[in-house]
Amino acid sequence: MTHPRPDPARPISPQERLALKALVDFWDDMGLDEAHGLAPALIPAPRPQARQARSDSTQSAPSGSQVSASGRPPPKILAVNPVADARRAAAAATTIAALKAAVDKFEGCTLRPGARNTAVYDGSIDADVMIVGEAPGAEEDAAGLPFVGRAGKLLDRMLASIGLSRTENVYITNLVYWRPPGNRDPSAEEVQVCAPFLARQIQLKRPKLLLTAGKFATQTLLGVDDGIMKMRGRKLRYSQEGLDAPVPCVPLLHPAYLLRQPNDKAKAWDDLLTVAALCDELGIKRGKGL
């Protein structure tokens, strides 16, 4: 391995000198002889007595203390990596049922201890339409199912208006599977930990059509910054590793938002008409609707 050498024509600041000295000390502690080739003109090699003193102090340290020669404790190494654990658990699941069992057993998300239940999915496993929301609320937390509260009931009516239902042709899940305290948005870390499970659901299901419910799910799943009013009703595409081709995706206004802003239900109806037309184009069977 070669290391960049300082330009001898450029003056070295006191801060840089201290940083280089710390680096050389670290390499010296690690037994890397090439450390002193980094900047011999700037940092003198340690005196033999100093090297011996460090060796003696290291040898005299109590067993198991793991104290470096500089007197500082070594960097902490995490015993677990929740994202890596989630990836392994998700990859091992070969069916939706096995994936649900893996999520039920998973303890790497910090939301879990404060939740009553795990809400992985609801609806038809064989459905061609997959809806992704944000996170369970209070009623979802109590039932262990996504979208079962007031917003969920409105969603069912919205879907039924174009001949879709979770009992026949719709599968519903969320970005995270445990309720965030106070119904806040999930944090980036919480979404990251749960992301392998969502990606695996999509990979196993291979839906013909994805619908994202609300701004948070739309921005997270599609990797966009635009607001939901700009994204709603647009025919977009979702891609991920493990899929043969991108999946058509339409963002929708979240039903919880529509409960607060009923005047925007006309916009939601326009978006549902787009979804209905796309279902027919993709060969997704629909009922007669309401």
Instruction: Tell me what percent of the residues of the chain surpass a pLDDT of 90.
Output: 70
- Report the pLDDT value the prediction gives residue 41, as an integer from 0 to 100: 41
Q: How many CA within 13 A on the CB side of residue 195?
A: 18
pLDDT at position 24 over 90: no
pLDDT at position 211 over 70: yes
Its pTM stands at: 0.73
Q: What is the pLDDT of residues 138-156, one digit of tens each?
A: 999 999 999 999 999 999 9
Most confident of 13-22, 74-83, 99-108: 99-108
More confident residue, 272 or 21: 272
pLDDT at position 253 over 80: yes
Query: Model confidence at 52, in pLDDT bands (50, 70, 90)?
Result: very low
DSSP states of the chain: ---PPPPTTSPPPHHHHHHHHHHHHHHHHTT-GGGGGS-TTTSPPPPHHHHHHHHHHHHHSPTT----TTSPPPPP--S--HHHHHHHHHHH--SHHHHHHHHHH----TTGGG-SS---EEE-TT-SEEEEES---HHHHHHTSSS-SHHHHHHHHHHHTTT--TTTTEEEEES-SSPPGGGPPPPHHHHHHHHHHHHHHHHHH--SEEEEESHHHHHHHHT--S-HHHHTT--EEE--TT-SSPEEEEEE--HHHHHH-GGGHHHHHHHHHHHHHHHHHHT-------
pLDDT at position 263 over 60: yes
**Domains with residue ranges and CATH for the chain:** 14-60 (no CATH), 82-282 (3.40.470.10)
- Report the pLDDT value the prediction gives residue 155, as an integer from 0 to 100: 98
Instruction: Tell me what percent of the residues of the chain surpass a pLDDT of 70.
Output: 72
pLDDT at position 45 over 70: no
- Report the pLDDT value the prediction gives residue 288, as an integer from 0 to 100: 80
pLDDT at position 203 over 90: yes
Q: What is the pLDDT of residues 86-140, one digit of tens each?
A: 999 999 999 999 999 999 999 999 999 999 999 999 999 999 999 999 999 999 9
